């Protein structure tokens, strides 16, 4: 047990901390010639100020005062002699000339102990260059990409809080090769039709937290790449945008597994997707996505609330004879997901024929405003325990573990198989099924709805008649 400090010792410790913080060096970019007029290039002043702060050590701070500072590409590179703070109070405005960037705008590299805080902005002026971006049209992996606004690479023990990113030319924030890094109370904004403006992209990183943030953009609010381990996303509002996506994965030979992702307490407003996993077919190697939880999520008029797409092909020109995706998706949970679907198919799980998905859904309550909702599942391997539908529904049974079926709620599965028994769910009784011509089964009686795992009570409602 750690002994409690007495009041005098506590006061002395607090005083020591306050003296340490107050004695830390503070450097303003204004002292290095930065001009807050939004027209004069202040890149050199910012770079020089960073070099001095990095060399000082002792929790030194780089201050960007109020005002608008025009800057080109800058690199805040370590290692530094000690932890470094960046206090952003003004606006950093990106230059528009694409030829200046090799390849990104603001980069933090090789740092241990970084704090970026304040209520300032980084403005990418993306509207001046989005019309030149063709990557979202041809979807080629070698497409020349535009500069990302802020890139954190090989950064450890960092906190980024309070700042706003506006109109990035490409991704707003990129996290690569990082460990123990948190993003708190971030705001990201770009028009819903802005190309490739992902809010935060995370890859090859461990122990990452994104929380209490608002992301409104033209692509994925958060996209999660390979070798992401122990990621927590909590309290994020997304929309417009493409939702929170794992992937796309399985296209390149150097990709590595994703393990331990937890997305919770998030809200999606009018997004094209809600929570999504997307993988390519015809991949060069086996890959694993394991231990993923999506829970306590609100969907407001979302086009595809729950989606797994293992035939991902954004150009829609992929041939039909590709080999199945080699990404194995296992122990993925969708728990307590509620709200409204803007499309008929509220749950769309298209998994790999080579590696059927291991998926669980629990307490899913999604409403469709214009008729019956569908759940569409292909190659999903799991059990269903206790299910209820308002207005009827159909369920396919546990004999076929690689089942493909579109199940209209109130209709019938188009698939028949000797090992598949179909059940008409007429109404729910506290999570139990009332089958045609039979007594209610116990909640432990395992069945399947189009191959989807459901534990507890799952309901997909439509407004009329519910």
Q: What is the pLDDT of residues 440-464, one digit of tens each?
A: 333 333 333 444 444 444 444 433 3
Confidence of residue 143 (pLDDT cuts 50, 70, 90): low
Residue 135: is it exposed, middle or buried by C-beta count within 10 angstroms (0-12/13-18/19+)? middle
pLDDT score of 402 more than 70:
no
pLDDT surpasses 60 at 187? yes
- The Cβ-side half-sphere exposure at 273, using a 13 Å CA radius, reads 21
Tell me which DSSP letter residue 254 carries. Answer: T
Pairing between β-strand 229-238 and β-strand 244-249 as defined by DSSP bridges:
unpaired
Range in 85-89, 259-263, 433-437, 444-448 the model is least confident about: 433-437
Measured at the CA of 379, the angle between CA 377 and CA 382, to 5 degrees, comes to 85
Candidates 278, 297, 295, 195; CA nearest to 238 is 297
CA 161 to chain centre: 18
Query: Which one of 123, 201, 242, 363 is the catalytic residue?
Result: 242
pLDDT digits (tens, 9 = 90+) for 201-228: 999 999 999 999 999 999 999 999 999 9
pLDDT at 252: 96
Give yes or no for residue 119 having a pLDDT over 60.
yes
Judged against a pLDDT cut of 80, whether residue 408 lies above it is answered with no
- The token pair at 190 is 């770009």
Q: How many CB atoms lie within 10 A of CB 328?
A: 21
Q: What is the pLDDT of residue 370?
A: 85
In 3D, which of 377, 415, 371, 409 has the Cα closest to residue 393? 409
- Higher-confidence position of 108 and 385: 108
Identify the bridge partners of residue 91 per DSSP, sorted by sequence position.
68, 121
Nearest to 92 by CA among 26, 151, 27, 164: 164
Average pLDDT, rounded, for the chain: 81
At 400, the pLDDT band (50, 70, 90 cuts) reads: very low
Q: How far is 386 from 183, CA to CA, in rounded Å?
A: 38
Task: Locate the domains of the chain by residue range.
Answer: 359-466
Residue 139, pLDDT score: 53
Buried/exposed 240-275: b ≥16 CB within 10 Å, e otherwise: bbbbbbbbbbbbeeebebbbebbbbebbbbbbbbbb
For a pLDDT cut of 70, what percent of the chain falls above it?
A: 75
Q: What is the pLDDT of residue 138?
A: 55
Would the pLDDT of 409 be above 70? no
Q: Is 242 a catalytic residue?
A: yes
How much is the pLDDT for 460?
Answer: 46
Whether residue 70 is predicted with pLDDT greater than 90 in this model: the reply is: yes
DSSP alpha helices (H): ranges in 88-235? 135-138
DSSP 13-41: HHHHHHHHHHHS-EEEGGGGT--TEEEEE
Query: Which residues 6+ apart lie within 8 Å of 87 measured at CB?
Result: 61, 62, 63, 64, 117, 118
pLDDT given for residue 421 in this prediction = 22
Q: What is the pLDDT of residues 77-118, one digit of tens each?
A: 999 999 999 999 999 999 999 999 999 999 999 999 999 999
For residues 432 and 424, the answer to whether their CB atoms sit within 8 Å is no
pTM score, whole prediction: 0.82
If one compares 140 and 148, the residue with the highest pLDDT of the two is: 148
């Amino acid at each position: 047990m750690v002994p409690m400090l007495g009041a005098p010792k506590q006061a002395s410790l607090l005083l020591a901390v306050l003296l340490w913080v107050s004695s830390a060096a503070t450097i303003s970019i204004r002292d290095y010639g930065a001009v807050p007029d939004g027209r004069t290039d202040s890149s050199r002043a910012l770079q020089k100020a960073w070099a001095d702060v990095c060399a000082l050590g002792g929790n030194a701070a780089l201050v960007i005062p109020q005002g608008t500072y025009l800057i080109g590409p800058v690199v805040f590179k370590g290692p530094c002699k000690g932890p470094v703070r960046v206090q952003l109070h003004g606006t950093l405005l990106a230059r528009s000339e694409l030829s200046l960037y090799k390849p990104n705008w603001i980069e933090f590299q090789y740092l241990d102990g970084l704090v970026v805080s304040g209520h300032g902005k980084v403005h990418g002026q993306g509207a001046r260059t989005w019309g030149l971006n063709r990557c979202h049209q041809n979807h080629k992996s070698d497409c020349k990409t535009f500069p990302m606004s802020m890139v954190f690479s090989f950064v450890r023990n960092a906190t980024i809080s309070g700042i706003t990113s506006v109109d990035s030319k490409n991704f707003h924030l990129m996290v690569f090769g990082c460990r123990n890094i948190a993003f708190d109370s971030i705001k990201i904004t770009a028009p819903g039709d802005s190309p490739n403006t992902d809010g935060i992209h995370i890859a090859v990183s461990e122990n990452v937290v994104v929380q209490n943030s608002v992301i409104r953009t033209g692509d994925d609010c958060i996209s999660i790449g390979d070798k992401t381990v122990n990621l927590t996303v909590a309290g994020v509002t997304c929309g417009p945008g493409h939702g929170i996506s794992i992937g796309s994965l399985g296209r390149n030979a150097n990709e590595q597994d994703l393990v331990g992702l937890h997305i919770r307490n998030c809200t999606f407003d009018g997004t094209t997707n809600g929570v999504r996993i997307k993988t390519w077919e015809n991949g060069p190697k086996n890959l694993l996505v394991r231990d993923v939880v999506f829970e306590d999520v609100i969907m407001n008029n979302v086009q595809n609330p729950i989606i797994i797409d293992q035939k991902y092909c954004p150009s829609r020109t992929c041939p039909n004879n590709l080999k199945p995706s080699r990404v194995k998706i296992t122990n993925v949970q969708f728990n307590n997901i509620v709200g409204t679907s803007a499309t008929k198919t509220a749950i769309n799980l298209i998994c790999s024929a080579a590696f059927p998905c291991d998926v669980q859904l629990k307490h899913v309550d999604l409403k469709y405003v214009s008729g019956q909702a569908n759940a569409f599942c292909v190659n999903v391997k799991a059990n269903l325990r206790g299910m209820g539908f308002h207005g009827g529904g159909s369920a396919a049974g546990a004999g076929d573990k690689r089942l493909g079926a579109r199940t209209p709620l109130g209709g019938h599965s188009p698939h028949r198989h000797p090992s598949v028994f179909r059940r008409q769910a007429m109404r729910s009784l506290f999570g139990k099924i009332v089958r045609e011509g039979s007594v209610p089964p116990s909640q432990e009686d395992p069945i399947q709805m189009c191959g989807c795992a459901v534990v507890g009570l799952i309901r997909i409602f439509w407004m009329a008649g519910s």
